[in-house]
């Protein structure tokens, strides 16, 4: 079959493209912008990419177009498809119909930590001798790519609550029909499509309704928003993390190394220990949920803990991109105030207090642009010594910035921001870049300019 994908460089749609290619289809795609790591991954798979949405980019004789949720009516490619009556489908529905029907689906949902937790589960299964299929919105170092059809029975999917497509306004995750469901946490987000937290909770309850009675739902005991979802009605056994009645983690706060290695307890019984190099309480919580999911899938706890201890992390999740003159440059996907706060807290805990953290933030999501999280945002970066905010206000989206200008250095020009950071960077500084986009290749630009300044190398 000849398949064309609109919005192919999104993390989810790029994964769909890889899976379609593995199933033997001829795959091509278009997107408004292309950038690594997804563009690189697709090119390595031999998938042809076209930048922009001109209808001429849709191949002749295409059998099916898979349309991402970033596209809406008025888009020239969408209008061409509708006018020509070309068969189309959403990525989530295509995934469900072509790969998930006969699989044990392990779905990971929540506001934060979906990518990391799903990657942990897939890595555990793989290291324990399984060949899991997976579609994850990031690339774990040991998995090497964001999607793989794998072998039966297991398929791990990052379950996003964002809407499915312009023609299907349900959350994507209602298509997945999981046997094991992990609910990491729940906060208000996606203000462009949800009016309030209650609207998101309704979508999560739709997901809960799809889990069979012989399945399992794993969630944190302390998350009131998720507990309210369960109280709406639940027909599946639940298992708590962070609870004496379920899974618990005990972190040794006196560790010499800046990691978050932890002991694992189940119903009060010591099950073993995870020894790894990951930092932060959020990674402990993600790891605990992954352990519970893998255990429900039938793996032995000793094997699970050994496998998780070897987990190397996910690209763009506190990924060290380079070190120049003792200055470390990190990349992180954080784009919600809670994620920004936990990432900065984890970094601060791991470095000496005299070492500065220079945080560079791009509030790129629609929710952030709308200023919905303005007050939370100010509080989220308190662990940083300096904050540099990139906000291109050419469309008037960032009018709310005037109200926080005293607490942050804001820039509409990326080159000016980079020069400001380079001019104050000193040996021992930690530069942490947080964005859910390509951010204009800022990481390599920072590394190049620092090398030029400190080492005399050409940019």
Residues spanned by the domain of 403? 319-455
Indicate if 129 and 70 belong to the same structural domain: no
Helix-strand-coil split of the chain, %, nearest 5? 35, 25, 40
> Which tens digits make up the pLDDT trace of 198-245?
999 999 999 999 999 999 999 999 899 999 999 999 999 999 999 899
- The reply to whether 314 falls in a domain is no
Of 35, 64, 91, which marks where a domain is finished?
91
- The reply to whether 282 falls in a domain is yes
Of 309, 341, 363, which marks where a domain is finished?
309
Q: What is d(CA 277, CA 308) in angstroms, rounded to the nearest whole number?
A: 11
Q: What is d(CA 14, CA 136) in angstroms, rounded to the nearest whole number?
A: 10
Q: Domain with 392 in it: what CATH number?
A: 3.90.190.20
Backbone angles phi, psi at 161, to 5 degrees: -90, -5
Is residue 248 exposed (0-12), middle (13-18) or buried (19+ Cβ within 10 Å)?
buried
Tokens of 285: 């919580």
Indicate if 150 and 260 belong to the same structural domain: yes
- The reply to whether 143 falls in a domain is yes
- The reply to whether 84 falls in a domain is yes
Count other Cβ atoms within 10 Å, centred on residue 342: 21
Quick one: pLDDT at residue 331?
A: 87
Q: What is d(CA 157, CA 215) in angstroms, rounded to the nearest whole number?
A: 16
Q: What is d(CA 197, CA 156) in angstroms, rounded to the nearest whole number?
A: 26
CA dihedral sign of residues 204, 206, 210, 211? positive
Q: What is d(CA 454, CA 426) in angstroms, rounded to the nearest whole number?
A: 10
Tokens of 7: 């919005």
Residue 13's alpha-carbon distances to 70, 95, 193, 227, in angstroms, are: 10, 10, 19, 31
Bridge partners of residue 109, in order along the sequence: 183
Quick one: pLDDT at residue 335?
A: 64
- The reply to whether 97 falls in a domain is no
- The reply to whether 400 falls in a domain is yes
Indicate if 371 and 255 belong to the same structural domain: no
Tokens of 41: 């991954």
Indicate if 119 and 223 belong to the same structural domain: yes
Indicate if 130 and 169 belong to the same structural domain: yes
Indicate if 326 and 295 belong to the same structural domain: no
Q: Which residues of the chain have pLDDT under 70?
A: 35-37, 190-191, 253-259, 314-317, 334-335, 352, 364-375, 378, 392-407, 437-438, 456-459
- The reply to whether 60 falls in a domain is yes
Indicate if 351 and 299 belong to the same structural domain: no
Indicate if 264 and 361 belong to the same structural domain: no
> Which tens digits make up the pLDDT trace of 104-148?
999 999 988 888 999 999 999 999 999 999 999 877 777 878 899
- Total domains, the chain: 3
Q: Domain with 81 in it: what CATH number?
A: 3.40.50.720
Indicate if 305 and 193 belong to the same structural domain: yes
Quick one: pLDDT at residue 127?
A: 94
Of 309, 337, 367, which marks where a domain is finished?
309
Indicate if 198 and 106 belong to the same structural domain: yes
- The reply to whether 96 falls in a domain is no
Indicate if 181 and 244 belong to the same structural domain: yes
Q: Domain with 259 in it: what CATH number?
A: 3.40.1190.10
Q: Do the beta carbons of residue 216 and residue 180 sit within 8 Å?
A: yes
The single residue listed with the structure tokens 């291109």 is: 392
Indicate if 116 and 241 belong to the same structural domain: yes
Quick one: pLDDT at residue 459?
A: 43
């Amino acid at each position: 079959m000849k398949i064309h994908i609109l919005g192919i460089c999104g993390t989810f749609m790029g994964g769909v493209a890889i899976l379609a290619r593995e199933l033997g289809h001829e795959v091509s795609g278009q997107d408004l912008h292309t950038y690594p790591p997804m563009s690189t991954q697709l090119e390595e798979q031999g998938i042809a990419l076209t930048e922009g949405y001109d209808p001429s980019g849709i191949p002749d004789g295409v059998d099916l177009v898979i349309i991402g949720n970033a596209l809406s009516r008025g888009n020239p490619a969408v209008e061409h498809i509708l006018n020509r009556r070309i068969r189309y489908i959403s990525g989530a529905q295509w995934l469900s119909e072509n790969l998930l029907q006969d699989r044990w689906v392990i779905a990971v949902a929540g506001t934060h930590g979906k990518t990391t937790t799903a990657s942990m589960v897939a890595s555990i299964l793989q290291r324990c001798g399984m060949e899991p299929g997976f579609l994850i919105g990031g690339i774990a170092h040991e998995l090497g790519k964001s999607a793989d059809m794998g072998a039966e029975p297991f398929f791990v999917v990052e379950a996003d609550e964002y809407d499915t497509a312009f023609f299907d306004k349900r959350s994507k995750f209602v298509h997945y029909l999981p046997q094991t469901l992990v609910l990491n946490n729940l906060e208000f987000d996606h203000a462009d499509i949800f009016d309030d937290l209650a609207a998101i909770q309704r979508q999560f309850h739709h997901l809960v309704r799809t889990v069979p009675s012989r399945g399992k739902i794993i969630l944190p005991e302390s998350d009131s928003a998720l507990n309210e979802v369960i109280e709406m009605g639940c027909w599946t056994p639940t298992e708590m993390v962070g609870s004496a009645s379920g899974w618990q983690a005990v972190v040794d706060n006196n560790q010499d190394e800046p990691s978050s290695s932890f002991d694992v307890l189940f119903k009060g019984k010591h099950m073993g220990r995870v020894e790894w190099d990951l930092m932060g309480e959020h990674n402990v919580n993600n790891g605990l949920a992954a352990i519970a999911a893998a255990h429900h899938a039938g793996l032995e706890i000793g094997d699970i803990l050994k496998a998780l201890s070897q987990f190397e992390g996910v690209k763009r999740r506190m990924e060290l991109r380079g070190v120049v003159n003792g200055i470390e440059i990190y990349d992180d996907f954080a784009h919600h105030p809670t994620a920004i706060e936990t990432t900065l807290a984890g970094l601060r805990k791991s470095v000496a207090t005299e070492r500065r953290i220079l945080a560079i933030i791009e509030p790129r999501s629609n929710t952030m642009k709308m200023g919905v999280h303005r007050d939370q945002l100010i509080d989220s970066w308190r662990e940083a010594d300096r904050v540099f905010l990139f906000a291109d206000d050419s469309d008037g989206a960032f009018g709310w910035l005037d109200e926080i200008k005293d607490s942050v250095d804001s820039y509409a020009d990326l080159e000016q921001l980079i020069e400001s950071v380079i001019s104050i960077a000193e040996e021992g500084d930690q530069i942490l870049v947080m964005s859910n986009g390509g951010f204009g290749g800022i990481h390599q630009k920072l590394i190049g300019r620092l090398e030029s300044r400190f080492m005399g190398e050409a940019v």
